[in-house]
Structure 1
Amino acid sequence: MPRSDPTRGTKLTSGFEDDPDGDSLVGSIVREGHIYSLAATNDLLYTGSDSNYIRVWKDLDEFSGFKSNSGLVKAIVICRDERVFTGHQDGKIRVWKTSAKNPRVYTRVGSLPALKDVLKRSVKPSNYVEVRRRRKKLWIKHSDAVSCLSLVEDQGLLYSASWDRTVKVWRIHDLKCIESIKAHDDAVNSVVATVWSGESLVFTGSADGTVKVWKREVGGKRSSHILVQTLLKQDSAVTALVTSHVAVYSGSSDGAVNFWEMGEKKLLKDGGVLKKHRLAVLCLAAAGKLLFSGAADKKICVWRREGRVHTCVSVLTGHTGPVKCLAVVEPTVEDGRLLVYSGSLDKSVKVWRVPYY
């Protein structure tokens, strides 16, 4: 089992906060590998890169690290029970947990799908689906890179999206795949599962230029997802999704951010388009009235929502490569500002404090 890795060579700069009422760069972490994924709790930051390492940071210092020989780390989500799920280029999802004796030590405690489930299902021809011409694979396995993960802990479900055009649904207590959704006609780049307006909804965005809405329906001991709405059809690939308490946002390869709001009969209606980036929007994050968009133009735009009107109140600059991922931690009562992490293909993670407008 891979264990925590005591590593060397971290380059860290930190410590200027020029304007207590404005945006400020708190610090910058530079490590080997382009940063592809981030996840944050109140005191820990997890970063995933093409070096195959998942690094764990505390107060901008390296706290731990663990490695999987599985290609770059494209997605990270954290459970309340402190398990960490990571999605990888090889199409698999790994599960990690800290040692009870030493919180700095992480061991791999499972993978999705589990080997026993693969062996059990592999004997039945009906469990195979065609993934490419003249090529079949078990329906519980992704046949291409896992692009993103979304966790709904109250329902005990993990959603994984893949370049194989599917979204798979996993029960997190026993790590079993319970459903595979043929979601799109091209790679699925983003998935967000949430309970919204009393409905269990899943939003998917794809390189085929569409954003789709799926509703989870429960019947007896089984559940399934049905397509209820297609929000967007365009030539540009959909590259990122996020939900706030009032809207759904999608980022596209043309630099635009589209958004939708809940309308009548619990259907989403078009809210408009936000245009500020010159190149592809690669990541989105939301907190309260704020929306953050990171892009290939190396910038992070901070949008404030008032009613249906969005205003770009700030642009965070400093990265020298495309901004690939974002994570936001809610403010403390004492501070009153959001902690925002941005990961870039310039091999750095930057840490910002942004007013909670």
Structure 2
Amino acid sequence: MRNGGRGTMFAEADSIRRSNFGNIMHSDPNMSMTAPVSEDDLCLRYSSASANGPAFEANRVSCEGSPMTMSPWNQTTPFNKSLSIPFEDDNVPANSLIGSLEREEGHIYSLAASKDLLYTGSDSKNIRVWKNLKEFTAFKSNSGLVKAIVISGERIFTGHQDGKIRVWKISPKNPSVHKRAGTLPTLKDILKSSIKPSNYVEVKRKRSLWIKHSDAVSCLSLNEEQGLLYSASWDRTFKVWRISDSKCIESIHAHDDAVNSVVSSLGGMVFTGSADGTVKVWNRPEQVRKGTKHTLAQTLLQQECAVTALAINTPGSVLYCGSSDGLINFWELEKQLSHGGVLKGHKLAILCLETAGNLVFSGSADKTICVWRRDGNIHTCLSVLTGHTGPVKCLAVEKDQESGKEQRWIVYSGSLDKSVKVWSVSEFAQVAEMQQNQLQGSYDRESFPSDGSYSSTSRTSQHGRY
């Protein structure tokens, strides 16, 4: 295998069935990191004016009582060959851990799943590609800390700590070969722009070309319909790239602090979330041509704590926003962006959000993943997936093509514990049974907010606002 050998996957079959532990995984209040994690480790800006990241309770015991030990897959025996899951469709537990991908080369900061391939980015220079829970190939960038990965057909875009976006293409002759196709902005455009003084802008008391990010690229978002790529950065801007010719067609100074997330909707809107505590809505021009500009439509949220993650569900009807206080706000696009409610399921910062079908997945610095199901504006917490020993930094979701009639999803979670865990999640788990288990377990009966959204727990951040 390329670039330093073979990736490892640890797993072991277990005879535990659904009846033994149900469909719910409980959050373990004793799980946390054994050492504090710095803001640089989390790679998320709570404020560019402060170096204070989220705090962790160092006296807690890691992994104590974790349901991972109850999982039908356990990290005990190394397998070098391809693994087949010894469950029939009807016997796979609804929300369970089915695998763990590990390489001792750095924290996992970004994930992207396409068809049967999973791409992982870390603070090493290697971008690894996994297939059937085994390492398939890898390719190396000039810069480490791959903070964002998005896939468009045969092209892969990666955003980096050095402020650059790198473009890769899959070889048509050999799908395991990924070749560098360029960098955004291109060297040609940099040289061309550098001639005109009007192309320079003031960023953090330094002059920089407007087409270049002057700080880390925090996230990427594709709009396939219009052929646009959006990149957001800690330099307080988001930029718009035309994929067809790799041109930066617009740069927007969007916020007063680092931009942590950008998402593009099919309805002609772009949303940005920032460490300044705001979520902003931008109107996208109907046709992309020279001189067209994104315009600020409204500010949805203004709060003291940082906005850390955004996600839009597949129909484009609901926007979700995670914050450093552990709360998730949501707005209904079909109702003129009216505020729908707040989901309370984490006790530390939300670091990532993903949606699939009627499900919402939230990953947190508390090392858990909450699985929410949406029915109208009511959200029910189906499961709290535990097993990571570090903050959950990124998520990717794909439909389980072998699930038959049951709607199942394969969820990938990347963590600062240097692992990617793979989960099987059902959309139609028995909610009533789960709620009963939750109320008897580590959940609080009083945690039903007045906005109608179900809250898995009334816990809030123990460390105040960031």
User: With structure 2 as the length reference, what TM-score do the two structures score?
Assistant: 0.72
CA 1:352–1:220 in structure 2 vs 1: closer, same or farther (change >3 Å)? closer
Q: What is the match of residue 156 of structure 1?
A: 227
CA contact (8 A) 2:213 2:233 kept: yes
CA contact (8 A) 2:6 2:135 kept: no
Residue 338 (str. 1) matches residue 409 (str. 2): yes
Deviates most, 213-222 or 314-323: 213-222
Q: What is the match of residue 74 of structure 2?
A: none
Q: What is the match of residue 207 of structure 1?
A: 275
CA contact (8 A) 1:16 1:26 kept: no
Q: Which has the larger radius of gyration?
A: 2
The one of 42, 56, 61 aligned to 2:134: 61
Deviates most, 97-106 or 203-212: 97-106
CA 1:330–1:129 in structure 2 vs 1: closer, same or farther (change >3 Å)? same
Q: What is the match of residue 50 of structure 1?
A: 123
Residue 10 (str. 1) matches residue 7 (str. 2): yes
1:207 maps to amino acid:
A
What is the distance in 1 between the residues matched to 2:275 and 2:318?
21
- C-alpha deviation, 1:46, in angstroms: 0.2
Gaps of 5+ in 2: 19-91, 429-466
Deviations 1:213-254 (A, max 9, x none): 111124683331111111110011000000012210000000
Q: What is the match of residue 285 of structure 1?
A: 354
What is the distance in 2 between the residues matched to 1:24 and 1:295?
18
CA contact (8 A) 1:34 1:348 kept: yes
1:46 maps to amino acid:
Y
CA 1:317–1:114 in structure 2 vs 1: closer, same or farther (change >3 Å)? same
- C-alpha deviation, 1:101, in angstroms: 2.4
What is the distance in 1 between the residues matched to 2:177 and 2:4?
13
CA contact (8 A) 2:122 2:144 kept: no
Q: What is the match of residue 299 of structure 1?
A: 368
Residue 316 (str. 1) matches residue 388 (str. 2): no
CA contact (8 A) 1:211 1:233 kept: yes
2:136 maps to amino acid:
F
How many residue pairs were aligned?
347
**Bigger proportion of residues as strand:** 1
CA 1:339–1:289 in structure 2 vs 1: closer, same or farther (change >3 Å)? same
* Percent of aligned positions that are identical: 66
1:166 maps to amino acid:
T
CA contact (8 A) 2:330 2:341 kept: yes
CA 1:208–1:126 in structure 2 vs 1: closer, same or farther (change >3 Å)? same
What is the distance in 1 between the residues matched to 2:334 and 2:268?
16
2:163 maps to amino acid:
G
- C-alpha deviation, 1:336, in angstroms: 3.2
Deviations 1:71-124 (A, max 9, x none): 3000000012x1100000000000011223221111111000000000011000
What is the distance in 1 between the residues matched to 2:355 and 2:107?
23
CA contact (8 A) 1:16 1:25 kept: no
CA 1:219–1:328 in structure 2 vs 1: closer, same or farther (change >3 Å)? closer
What is the distance in 2 between the residues matched to 1:56 and 1:100?
16
Residue 269 (str. 1) matches residue 341 (str. 2): no
Residue 75 (str. 1) matches residue 144 (str. 2): no
1:307 maps to amino acid:
G
Q: What is the match of residue 227 of structure 1?
A: 296
2:354 maps to amino acid:
A
What is the distance in 2 between the residues matched to 1:251 and 1:48?
22
CA contact (8 A) 2:3 2:126 kept: no
User: With structure 1 as the length reference, what TM-score do the two structures score?
Assistant: 0.94
Q: What is the match of residue 326 of structure 2?
A: 255
1:250 maps to amino acid:
C
- C-alpha deviation, 1:9, in angstroms: 4.7
What is the distance in 1 between the residues matched to 2:13 and 2:271?
38
1:167 maps to amino acid:
F
The one of 401, 406, 418 aligned to 1:347: 418
What is the distance in 1 between the residues matched to 2:2 and 2:213?
28
Deviates most, 181-190 or 99-108: 99-108
What is the distance in 2 between the residues matched to 1:220 and 1:75?
24
What is the distance in 2 between the residues matched to 1:16 and 1:303?
28
- Three-state SS of the structure 2 residue aligned to 1:116 is helix
What is the distance in 1 between the residues matched to 2:387 and 2:400?
22
Residue 137 (str. 1) matches residue 208 (str. 2): yes
Alignment of 1:101-250 (within 5 A): 101-133=173-205, 135-195=206-266, 199-218=267-286, 221-222=289-290, 223-244=292-313, 245=315, 246-250=317-321
CA 1:21–1:9 in structure 2 vs 1: closer, same or farther (change >3 Å)? closer
CA 1:58–1:15 in structure 2 vs 1: closer, same or farther (change >3 Å)? farther
Deviations 1:288-321 (A, max 9, x none): 1110000000000001111211111100000000
- C-alpha deviation, 1:67, in angstroms: 1.0
- C-alpha deviation, 1:21, in angstroms: 4.7
CA contact (8 A) 1:290 1:304 kept: yes
Q: What is the match of residue 107 of structure 2?
A: 34
